[in-house]
Amino acid sequence: MQYMEKQLKVSKEIQSLIAERLPGHSLDAPFYLSPEIFELDIREIFSKHWIHVAVEPDIPEPGDYVTVEVGLNSIVVVRDDDMSVRAYHNVCRHRGARLCSEHKGSVGNLVCPYHQWTYNLTGELIHADHMGEKFDRSKHGLKPVHVENLAGLIFICLAEQPPQDFAVMRDAMAPYLLPHGLQDCKIAKQVDLIEEGNWKLTMENNRECYHCATNHPELTASLFEFGFGYQSAPGNAEQIAEFDRLAAQRCAEWEQGGLPSAEIERLDELVTGFRTQRLPLDRAGESQTLDGKVASGKLLGQFERADLGGLSFWTQPNSWHHFMSDHIVSFSVLPLSAERTLVRTKWLVHKDAREGIDYQLDNLTAVWNATNDQDKRLVELSQQGARSTAYQPGPYSPFTEGLVEKFCTWYVGRLSAGLSANLKSGSATTIAIAVEN
Amino acid sequence: MQYMEKQLKVSKEIQSLIAERLPGHSLDAPFYLSPEIFELDIREIFSKHWIHVAVEPDIPEPGDYVTVEVGLNSIVVVRDDDMSVRAYHNVCRHRGARLCSEHKGSVGNLVCPYHQWTYNLTGELIHADHMGEKFDRSKHGLKPVHVENLAGLIFICLAEQPPQDFAVMRDAMAPYLLPHGLQDCKIAKQVDLIEEGNWKLTMENNRECYHCATNHPELTASLFEFGFGYQSAPGNAEQIAEFDRLAAQRCAEWEQGGLPSAEIERLDELVTGFRTQRLPLDRAGESQTLDGKVASGKLLGQFERADLGGLSFWTQPNSWHHFMSDHIVSFSVLPLSAERTLVRTKWLVHKDAREGIDYQLDNLTAVWNATNDQDKRLVELSQQGARSTAYQPGPYSPFTEGLVEKFCTWYVGRLSAGLSANLKSGSATTIAIAVEN
Amino acid sequence: MQYMEKQLKVSKEIQSLIAERLPGHSLDAPFYLSPEIFELDIREIFSKHWIHVAVEPDIPEPGDYVTVEVGLNSIVVVRDDDMSVRAYHNVCRHRGARLCSEHKGSVGNLVCPYHQWTYNLTGELIHADHMGEKFDRSKHGLKPVHVENLAGLIFICLAEQPPQDFAVMRDAMAPYLLPHGLQDCKIAKQVDLIEEGNWKLTMENNRECYHCATNHPELTASLFEFGFGYQSAPGNAEQIAEFDRLAAQRCAEWEQGGLPSAEIERLDELVTGFRTQRLPLDRAGESQTLDGKVASGKLLGQFERADLGGLSFWTQPNSWHHFMSDHIVSFSVLPLSAERTLVRTKWLVHKDAREGIDYQLDNLTAVWNATNDQDKRLVELSQQGARSTAYQPGPYSPFTEGLVEKFCTWYVGRLSAGLSANLKSGSATTIAIAVEN
Ligand code: FES
Ligand code: FES
Ligand code: FES
Ligand SMILES: [Fe+3]
Ligand SMILES: [Fe+3]
Ligand SMILES: [Fe+3]
């Protein structure tokens, strides 16, 4: 009941902020600053939605695990002996010690370092010393976490009843993603970047390319900024028309070759919101590299040609991915506190590609390492601004920030839905106490 | 309305602390520790009074700017093309990014690093891409901040309606300050010192010399501690009488030479409280240096003689300045959090003085660098003490801590005035909610 | 009255947590995480009970002092000119500066570094400049703190009326401790270790040896894990019986030789709870060293034989000590914040023992330095786990965690007692306001 009460307690001030959000504008400052809203984000967004946290190549063999932090929760994602991917709260059922303190590893069983309670890979407590005759091991298994695996992208959901519409995303996306053979990839490089800003500023930054032209010289070497919506003007109308022609032509080609490429945009109408599109690339047109050529000579899947553009896949609330013919870049955003966010980037190549021969690590990672650093600075400048009493929500560009608006609409909608669901499920008395405070 | 409510919310506990302050004693511990009172200080003191933040030599040319942090607000102070000094909130009106992230610089326009919204030096938004036809640039200019320039000392006020009595201080002080020609100086050195203590402890420390004799050997080489009030006792009566004679005689001389020197003390009777006095110096009697001689051979203004003592100028709530014949030392205090304060010190010499020839930097800065370090330690020891449950407000010396008392009286009075003004301006309902919490 | 109100304010949520603690299980997560409960711990536990903070050899001579931090309070423990041990709040009665900023030192009087108010070693203000005729020095002495000295172990109590039953502990323990001659020891080494965890996790860790076998190879070289309760099982029944025989036999021997050795266990029935027992050691059986032999050739007290096992002494809420024939290891736990704790360890040898000749520092400290580092890791893993929403109080082993349960019972009982005492002493009105919030 304690827990229920805590679940329901949201201050009036925050309820108003949610109710009164001005459409088409950046969020009110407390959404970027308030520890109370941060807790709400963890509870309503990150604990009730499908969160991207890993890829299959993180855990190729039975017993391989990765741990991931979602707020103050630690989750261990592990491959069991039947090759299924499973996830558990990384918390011992005895006195609560963290089970796995490394980011990655490989185990036979999950053994608590404190008093050696031992859990098998399906989460059962199989050994606990000195607990006496009356102790029921079956009541002290690891707390499971839901897992979905979409073409090698691993998503978890901490809720007891996860959103049902993951299936919608899976059905739509599998045909786009599977040809890239993520399951047969290896992680060439992972970089964890900490941004001193709220996770939503990281996401907003990801959802527009209004800032690309002046901030991302490396990225825009291959990426057309026009792919993200632009206002025609005497200065660029011709370029935009040219881009549209190119995109339509390449899309038709790819689809004919069996690669779905058309845009699907369901960012704010689904609980498990997402968007995808395969877009042409500039220069050599093959990959998101400095010269636009493939970074890895060993192509993915069954691909025989390299000029497949970039298939982008964005998910609410915390990931995006670029699938090319030769490599995949996969991003997940993990909030650490109201003003701190982890951006985890993985570069994947075919598992048979040889470093130094088939690919050079520097070349593979050059574009997105530079881009991430640039975005980190922009996110941090936004965070600093949001702290000022002079900050007020500003207008999004109707041309280039439509997807930012969709992120905010989805976010505010999911908070509202979560709060009213809580109100319904709690008893009237409890609510009265809760909303009062 | 959200904002208004936030403005008014002050807990009952803090209202009592303000109402029940014991005169003649140091403040209650929460004034030095509480984050809630810190927010109140930023809102009622630092956002509604004239705050010293810069000197004209910080920004000699058009387009030169300095940024200054007041609480979590960042302000950019800039010289426009007409040579006027202007100040703005350093926050883009689009999505709120900080505009200038350097402490000092020079620009043509103020261009946001995120999406290149461009503001001219008078704060107008003159360029914003992709915002569509309906977008009204004139509604998205930078938020201005009031500026006053007193003989080269720059003050800002964040309030919509700044205190009217800046004019009283200006009228009184201009004749004292102008002869020192601050506008024709350059900054020889700036030191930013962070004290792990509340800003009011920094100010209290500045307002007495009870601690000088044992703590400041370098400062008291030239400064008579008697200038700050002393209790006559068999041991020092003669010295004090001697000092009084000297002060009266020098004051008469200086005034005759056209330099106003008599004390003006309006620290606690004005909203824009201040105090000044020209005091004789010990040893060579010329400057606040280790030997009492001028540190710079190039005298300021039109001065022809060096033995002009030290003209001190103290302002509420955050600055003090010492004007000598050869150099000026200017201090501003900027609160960073309840337990963290920035003390910014600038040493100014004539703009034609040559380093290494007319002055040596080490000699120029020796006294106040040492003194600042010593005061930092004392402030931090006070902060540590205030954290103890055993701390209780102690009695100020009626002889040597009169100006500390005046600082506290002014401070508590300004808080009270601010809170009752808020009560008057808000609607009854809003207040009822606000004071309840 | 302000202070009284603050004293009484405990949120309903925390009152329920205390009332609803599940016996036999680890505490609810907020007890390890909440800053509000941390304040309560400082106020109800660390400010109202006898806290172990020093040993006599810390301050052998008149004027010698140590400072110790209890929450945000700093206490100075000093030996006065009559060789009595005294303790004061380390806070000047003028403007509250910390008097002694070093951990250890030696002084004639306690002189405030700020304005030189001077207190003698019995806490009287004997000198204060410039305070005028009306100032009453006798009202501005240092605030005293109660001190007890049990065979050289120094305890303080910050309450006005300390628990009366210190005498019970003293009467019981003096015969056990005095033969070891702590007063004639010197501190060979002190190590301050900071654990990123709540102090109660440190204490729980100390109160069981369930975790010893796999985590403490150095400690279990000499220490039998069976001394702390074990479940007989086919695998260890014989070993346990053997240990019981050995313990009974050695205990009889030691008692015959004049050394009280039998267990006294009053951990949860006294306000000043404690436990003691002299236990046999493994290997050479002399001392808690890697080989079980004495680390110091100069035996303590009047001892003539080395095989005296280990006399352990545990106190609520914050200490434990191991007295051997040749050296003593003394631990005190000092909470720094809800998630940070200082563990201070002192190794004491006879004051005439010569380093490098009678003892080697590395050998003396090897076991407990290693053990402390291992325990630090375990405490931190527990803290990390407690932060998870998946954490829930888990069952203590009825065999090996009985003393952990007694610690928790004592702790929760003392909180309850403190809260109901506060309710009784405050006025009805005040309480109404306080518990509401
Ligand atoms: S905490 Fe995991 S076994 Fe004890
Ligand atoms: S935030 Fe400044 S231009 Fe977008
Ligand atoms: S604060 Fe101690 S003498 Fe002034
Ligand atoms: Fe970007
Ligand atoms: Fe000073
Ligand atoms: Fe241990």
Give per-residue pLDDT as tens, A354-412: 999 999 999 999 999 999 999 999 999 999 999 999 999 999 999 999 999 999 999 99
Query: What average pLDDT score do residues A215-243 get?
Result: 84
Write the pLDDT tens digit of every residue in B314-373: 999 999 999 999 999 999 999 999 999 999 999 999 999 999 999 999 999 999 999 999
The encoded tokens of residue C353 equal: 């023992």
The predicted model gives C44-71 an average pLDDT of: 97
State which residues have CB under 5 angstroms from ligand 6, the bound ion: C 375
Rounded Cα distance, B225 and B282, in Å: 10
Predicted ipTM of the assembly:
0.92
* Residue of C22, C230, C397, C407 to mutate for A, most A C-beta atoms under 10 A: C397
Strands (E), C287-375: 310-315, 319-323, 327-337, 340-350
pTM of the model: 0.93
| Cα C265 to Cα C226: distance, rounded to the nearest angstrom | 17
The yes-or-no verdict on residue A8 having pLDDT over 60 is: no
Residues of chain C contacting B210 with CB distance shorter than 8 Å: 115, 129-130
Contact criterion met (CB < 8 Å) for B384 and C143: no
pLDDT score of C226: 80
Chain A neighbors of C16, CB-CB under 8 A: 2
For C:230-289, CB contacts with B below 8 A are none
Average pLDDT for A165-180: 98
Torsion sign (Cα): A84, A85, A88, A94? positive
Shortest CA distance from C93: residue in chain B: B394
- Say if CB A268 and CB A409 are below 8 A apart: yes
pLDDT at B63 over 90: yes
Q: Cα separation of B310 and B289, whole Å? A: 11
Find the helix or strand (DSSP H, E) in which C286 lies. Answer: none
Q: How far apart are CA A14 and CA A8, in angstroms?
A: 13
**Of B13, B390, B400, which is closest to C91 when you measure between CB atoms?**
B390
Quick check: C428 pLDDT over 80?
A: no
Angle between helices A199-206 and A361-386 (to 10 degrees): 120
Which helix (H) or strand (E) covers residue C225, if one does? none
| Ligand 1 touching residue A113 (CB < 6 A) | no
B437 pLDDT band, cuts 50/70/90, is very low
- Binned at pLDDT 50, 70 and 90, residue B2 comes out as very low
Confidence at B277, pLDDT banded by 50, 70, 90: very high
Which residue shows structure tokens 């380390």?
A: C90
Q: How many CB pairs under 8 A join A and B?
A: 94
Per DSSP, which regions of B107-212 are E strands?
110-111, 118-119, 125-127, 144-150, 153-157, 185-195
Parallel, antiparallel, or unpaired: how do β-strands A274-279 and A327-337 relate?
unpaired
Q: Whose structure tokens read 């209290």?
A: B204
User: pLDDT tier at C374 (50, 70, 90 boundaries)?
Assistant: very high
Q: Which of C214, C339, C374, C391 to mutate to test the interface with A (most CBs of A within 10 A)?
A: C391
- Specify the pLDDT at position B7: 46
Q: Is the pLDDT assigned to residue B90 strictly greater than 50?
A: yes
pLDDT of residue C318: 98
Model confidence band, residue A168 (pLDDT cutoffs 50, 70, 90): very high
Nearest chain B alpha carbon to C42: B389
A115 lines ligand 1 (CB under 6 A): yes
Which of B95, B143, B157, B158 should we substitute to test contact with A (largest number of A Cβ atoms within 10 Å)? Answer: B95
Q: Report the distance separating Cα C334 and Cα C103, nearest Å.
A: 14
Residues present in chain C in total: 437
- For residue C377, is pLDDT > 60? yes
Task: List the 201-230 stretch of C: residues with Cβ below 8 A of A.
Answer: 204, 210-211, 214-215, 230
Between C231 and B47, residue with greater pLDDT: B47
User: Residues B327, B348: contact at Cβ < 8 Å?
Assistant: yes
Nearest CA to A149 out of A271, A273, A52 is that of A52
Name the nearest CA neighbour of A98 among C196, C230, C209.
C196
DSSP state of B180: G
Residue among C117, C118, C125, C135 whose CB has most ligand 3 atoms within 8 A, to mutate: C117
Distance CA B164, CA B168 (A): 8
Percent of chain C as helix, strand, coil, to the nearest 5: 35, 25, 40
Structure confidence at residue C7 (pLDDT): 46
Of the candidates A101, A116, A130, the beta carbon closest to that of C381 is on A101
- Checking if the pLDDT of C332 tops 80, the result is yes
Contact criterion met (CB < 8 Å) for C72 and B399: no
Q: How far apart are CA B275 and CA C283, in angstroms?
A: 78
User: Hey, are the CB atoms on A113 and C215 less than 8 Å from each other?
Assistant: yes
Round to whole Å and give the CA distance between A48 and A411: 12
Question: Is the pLDDT assigned to residue A1 strictly greater than 80?
Answer: no
Which are the contacts of C50, defined by CB distance < 8 A and separation ≥ 6? C148, C155, C156, C157, C162, C163, C166, C169, C272, C315
Angle at A259 between CA A253 and CA A263, to 5 degrees: 85
The answer to whether C391 contacts A91, with C-beta atoms less than 8 Å apart, is: yes
Q: Residue A299 CB: number of other CB atoms within 10 A?
A: 23
Distance A328 CA to ligand 4 centre (A): 18
SS3 C124: coil
Q: Closest-lying ligand to the alpha carbon of B115? A: 2
Q: Round to whole Å and give the CA distance between C314 and C332.
A: 10
Strand C153-157 to strand B264-266: parallel, antiparallel, or no bridges (unpaired)? unpaired
> Residue whose CA is closest, atom 1 of ligand 1?
A95
Percent of chain C with pLDDT over 70: 93
Residue C433 has pLDDT above 70, yes or no: no
More confident residue, B98 or B244: B98
Amino acid at C255: E
Q: Among residues B365, B342, B186, B173, which one has the least CA distance to residue B270? A: B173
Is the predicted pLDDT of residue B302 greater than 70, yes or no? yes
Is the Cβ pair C388, A97 closer than 8 Å? no
* CB-based contact B177:B185 (threshold 8 Å): no
Report the residue of chain B nearest C145, measured CA to CA: B390
Q: Note whether C324 and C310 are within 8 A (CB).
A: yes
Angle at B431 between CA B430 and CA B433, to 5 degrees: 70
Q: How far apart are CA B254 and CA B260, in angstroms?
A: 7
Note the pLDDT of residue C54: 98
Q: How far is A115 from chain C (nearest CA, A)?
A: 5
How confident is the model at residue C229, as a pLDDT? Answer: 66
Could you tell me the pLDDT band of residue A436, with boundaries at 50, 70 and 90?
very low
Nearest protein Cα to ligand 3, atom 3: C115
pLDDT of residue A227: 75
Query: Residue B198: what residue type?
Result: N
Q: Is the minimum CB–CB distance between B159 and chain A shorter than 8 Å? A: no
Handedness of CA A238, A239, A240, A244 (dihedral sign): positive
Mean pLDDT of C402-422: 94
Q: Assess whether pLDDT exceeds 90 at residue C207.
A: yes
Separation CA A288–CA A281 (nearest Å): 8
Chains contacting A (3+ CB pairs below 8 angstroms): B, C
Contact call for C130 and B386, based on CB within 8 A: no
B92 vs A: CB within 8 A: yes
Say if the Cβ atoms of B26 and C95 lie within 8 Å.
Answer: yes
Three-state helix/strand/coil letters over A106-132: ECCCEECCCCCCEECCCCCEEECCCCC
Contact B130/A210, CB-based, under 8 Å? yes
Q: Which residues of B touch C5 (CB under 8 A)?
A: 13
**B398 half-sphere exposure, CB direction, 13 A CA radius:** 6
Put simply, whether C394 touches A (Cβ < 8 Å) is: yes
User: How far, in Å, CA of A8 to CA of A425, rounded?
Assistant: 10
Q: Which residues pair with A279 in a beta bridge?
A: A310
Cα Rg of chain B (Å, integer): 23
Bridge partners for A154 per DSSP: A54, A149
- C127 touches ligand 3 (CB under 6 Å): no
- Average the pLDDT over C389-395 and give the result: 97
Mean pLDDT of C292-318: 97
Is the pLDDT at A426 greater than 60? The verdict is: no
Structural domains of chain A, ranges and CATH numbers in brackets: 51-147 (2.102.10.10), 163-387 (3.90.380.10)
Residues from chain A that touch C26, judged by Cβ atoms under 8 A, are 95-96
Tokens of B301: 């203004």
- Protein residue with its CA nearest to atom 1 in ligand 3: C95
Q: Which of A92, A115, A135 sits opposite C385 (nearest CB)?
A: A92
Contacts of B144 in chain A (CB under 8 A): none
**Band of residue B428 on the pLDDT scale cut at 50, 70, 90:** very low
Asked whether the predicted pLDDT for residue A2 surpasses 70, the reply is no
Which of C89, C91, C95, C142 to mutate for ligand 3's pocket (most ligand atoms within 8 Å of CB)?
A: C95
Q: How many CB atoms lie within 10 A of CB B356?
A: 7
The predicted pLDDT at position C225 comes to: 80
Phi, psi of C52 (to 5 degrees): -80, 125
Substitution candidate for ligand 2 out of B115, B119, B126, B140 with most atoms within 8 A of CB: B115
- Per-residue pLDDT, B434: 30
